Amino acid sequence: MGGVKEELTSLDRVALRAVLERATNLLPVKAAEEGRFIIKIPDFGDGKGPVLLPNIKELDAKMRGSDGTLAVVELEAGPQKVPADGTNVIVINRVDQFVQAALAAKLEYLIDSANGEMTRQVLLDFMSYARGYNYDPDTQKVSFCRNVGFRNDVYNMPIPELKKRYVRYSRPDLLLENVKDGNIRSGYYIKRPLEGRGVYLKGKFQVQLSAEAGGAMQEFHNGAMVHVPDDPKLPISFIHVTDINTCYTQRNGWPIVDADGQHTKLPSYDVSELKKTEPGIARQQFTRSHKPPPKP
């Protein structure tokens, strides 16, 4: 089957923020209190390079297209590469206090079994437990374990970004910006209770995960919410529609996305139209080919 071609606009974070900060109709929002489990990735020093995780979006698409009885999934997209040099963490979204207790106990057990060391194998075994599958980057195959796993979003984040956005669940009063990167610990975190404004960008685009040049690109094929923090020192962030209620609520605590999956409270801007009126937000146009997800 031939690939499907999609044009993705590469957005400039700084220029886009300048445009959105001038808008007067953005929805006032605040960070949701739902927790995340954070895994600090040390510098393993084993010469094996980054940690390789499966492409979560493709895996989830193939799982949705199945009848729930898949034992093995073969992926086509390349793996997610997580730096193993002590500069990153792995974030597991949508974790409540009961799940975090299970994750914390499993991580402690694995580290104790490795003579108290957080090794690469400990991390891989923990991710297999947390997600409920094993991943072989050489064959691109995912095989499901007997335990169910927690099927939540998993992604990596540079430690400086974590320190700006999160606090420990048990110490929300303690800002992480004064904590040395090497002292960041694995555990249960929540977003800092900061306020901002939200808008929905319609269309297909990609954007750097962090503001630094050369950072990894994140693709959005069905639009995304953009959060513009009230604090100008904090970066804007991009949220898939399925994750909006996980990350943010309206200021009164009501969900942004309603029970029917609609987000009508958010003002909406079309990327293609925005490029015409604000050409500075677009860096470059990319054409990508990919195979469509299997039909359910």
pLDDT of residue 213: 46
Burial level of 46, CB count in 10 A (0-12/13-18/19+)?
A: exposed
The single-letter code of the amino acid at 212 is E
Q: What residue ranges do the domains of the chain occupy?
A: 1-32+194-296, 34-192
| Phi, psi of 20, deg, nearest 5 | -70, -35
Q: Annotate 193-229 with DSSP letters as a single string.
A: --EEEEEEEES-EEEESSSSTTPPEEEESS-EEEEEE
Please answer whether residues 80 and 56 qualify as being in contact, where contact means their C-beta atoms are separated by less than 8 angstroms: yes
Summarised one tens digit per residue, pLDDT across range 91-115 is: 988 888 888 999 999 999 999 999 9
Q: What is the pTM of this model?
A: 0.67
How many Å separate Cα 288 from the centre of its chain? Answer: 21
Give the tokens for residue 37: 């489990």
The angle subtended at Cα 133 by Cα 130 and Cα 136, nearest 5°, is 120
**How confident is residue 1, by pLDDT bands cut at 50, 70 and 90?**
very low
Question: 3-state class of 141 per DSSP?
Answer: strand
